[in-house]
Amino acid sequence: MPGTPDSVRVALAFDFGLRRIGVAVGDTLTGSAAARATVPSHATGPDWPAIDRIVRESAPHILVVGKPYNVGGDDSTMTTLAGQFAAELAARYPLPVEQVDERYSSIEASTHLKAQRASGERKRRLRKEDVDSAAAVVILRRWLEGER
């Protein structure tokens, strides 16, 4: 029966970028998502050994990749690149890969982190890596909301 512990699925989400890839992990039981460390990405591509480690440690049932549309909903160069990253994940791991509209996820993540800093909940300065992983959390939450 859906929603029972037997049907809990762990999801691993990625906010694809040309320099860094934000990562978050969560599950369908609690509906929660937590940021993980970012993975570097270079001109030659993502740091696949680092992604391999994260996938092995997280043991996800599904991988979720943000799909970066333009504001109007049109595809962009980044939409294509994120799609290629999603296809490579599907080729490397025997897991389903889904893409989720990630428009404004970085803005939402940055706003949330700034509010945490202003309230004193977050002590250290915001780094770009923090925003990338927080954006992956936003992407994962959007996917989780669709699953509920």
- Domains with residue ranges and CATH for the chain: 5-147 (3.30.420.140)
Q: Quick one: pLDDT at residue 148?
A: 44
- Distance CA(109)–CA(132), nearest Å, equals 8
Give the residues across from 40 on adjacent strands.
20
Q: Quick one: pLDDT at residue 22?
A: 94
Q: Is there a contact between 71 and 103 (Cβ–Cβ < 8 Å)?
A: yes
Mean pLDDT in order along the chain per 10 residues (148 residues): 63 94 93 92 94 96 89 79 96 96 68 63 67 86 80
**Which letter does DSSP use for residue 125 in this model?**
P
**Which letter does DSSP use for residue 60 in this model?**
-
Q: Quick one: pLDDT at residue 75?
A: 73
Q: Quick one: pLDDT at residue 1?
A: 37
- Distance CA(67)–CA(102), nearest Å, equals 5
